[in-house]
Amino acid sequence: MTRTVPGRTGHVVVVGAGLAGLSAALHLLGTGRRVTVVERDPLPGGRAGRRELGGYHLDTGPTVLTMPHLADEAFAAVGERLRDHVDLLPLHPAYRACFADGTALDVHTDAAAMEAEVERFAGPREAAGYRRLRTWLQRLYAVQMRRFIDANFDSPLGLLTPDLARLAALGGFGRLDARIGRFLTDERLKRVFSFQALYAGVAPARALAAYAVIAYMDTVAGVYFPRGGMHALPRAMAAAATAAGADLLLGRDVTSLERSGSRVTAVVTAHERIPCDAVVLTPDLPVVHRLLGRRPRRPLRLRHAPSAVVLHAGTTRTWPHLAHHTLSFGAAWRRTFDELTRTGALMTDPSLLITRPTAGDPALAPAGRHLHYVLAPCPNTDIGPGAEAWSDLAPRYRDRLLATLERRGLTGIAAAVEAECLVTPADWTAQGHAAGTPFSVAHTFAQTGPFRPRNLVRGTDNAVLAGCGTTPGVGVPTVLISGKLAAARITGTAPGGGRR
């Protein structure tokens, strides 16, 4: 049995109405708890927020949605269905990968379509390798999801299950790039199945092969787009929680937690004091530690993932070679990861994610206009330029980004921009994200699974954590799971249903 919150848990206050907090709220409501959700922003969503800019509707956080069944689980907890609240569009292709040599590959989640595309792109031998890789990814996912992702850990001993041996037999504890290299020899293809290591904050040469499970989510399970933008998902989750009886308090910044002994007894904002039996804390870890009045002791300092510069550009035109999601790879690869995770330099030959949400929903921009989201990974403020440096650096970096896009086929983009918003590590810092990164704590081996900051708080009996800083980690699917795991710590139900 895993540990659960002792004592009364009838009324739970969830701090933060992001995806983790809303997932926790729905799962708690499904077990009959009274739930109050407190959010500092005027809208739900947290990192998956919304900004209006001259008729353009910007998603301020993630743009890639995979594993929507995890959101459906949260809706199902209160007797609802995701499809009744959100119109999900499957993306074909899931991505378009464009390489420095001028070649391009459409990444399909359908096995036959992807095999044919790989054969067109790199020949029959690589297509056969892709088939073997896909089978391996499916087996890897099946082992990891059951025991290592959708699971609460009380100690590293929780890893000692038959699935640990299965994961080892699959090569999960080797290196990601070497394992992918057993199936594919084309360097361009290898990038398509290993760039996801960036989400984990580790270079493919150093990342565990187990992190290929993220490639499974992207390239096998499918990529989707909610009509209305990514913010449509938290907006619908908040509406479902409210309909199920939750009190949703927006525009309320939590200033402190009241305690009696080892229990939190109330959550305090500038507007009110909210008594509670338990609390779920979803802000970034530094904010959580401030509220709790303590920072956990760890033998090693937490390492944070790289950050990102994001350019939201409303334009008068678009470019035909762009898919909904386009990966624009530079010629550099190992050097890029070295810059992002070791030297702290801005990418000299950047690899970029370009998302065109108006491809799926033209209503996100004024009539005849287009919205482009350009994500450029960059070092976090621990190893790269500090937050204060970005005030001078930002306009120059914006110009560099546009010049790079121009060279890569987005001819005339600078002249086409009529509305824009540039987000840098200084902005992430201002939002309370440690090391100026929205991607939180990196997934090194020492910060993964039971070694990641746990969702139970030592010294506080009735506080549980959720969000990307705790288990299981960074990304929309894992953050949704973190909310479910937090709820399970309070209700005593296993994440998959039933009691522990």
User: Which helix (H) or strand (E) is 309 found in, with range?
Assistant: strand 307-315
d(CA 425, CA 7): 41
DSSP state letters, 67-118 = -THHHHHHHHTTT--GGGT--EEEPSSSEEEE-TTS-EEEE-SSHHHHHHHH
Helix 19-29 / helix 69-76 crossing angle, nearest 10 deg = 40
Confidence at residue 1, expressed as pLDDT on a 0 to 100 scale: 63
Confidence at residue 500, expressed as pLDDT on a 0 to 100 scale: 38
Confidence at residue 499, expressed as pLDDT on a 0 to 100 scale: 40
d(CA 402, CA 394): 12
- Rounded mean pLDDT for each run of 10 residues along the chain, 500 residues in total: 89 98 98 97 95 95 95 98 96 96 96 98 98 94 76 58 70 84 96 84 82 88 96 98 98 96 96 97 93 75 92 97 96 91 93 96 97 96 96 96 97 97 96 93 77 88 95 91 96 60
CB-hemisphere CA count at 13 Å for 228? 12
- Measured between alpha carbons, how far is residue 406 from residues 33, 200, 394, 401, 409 in Å? 54, 29, 18, 9, 6
Q: Could you tell me the pTM of the whole model?
A: 0.94
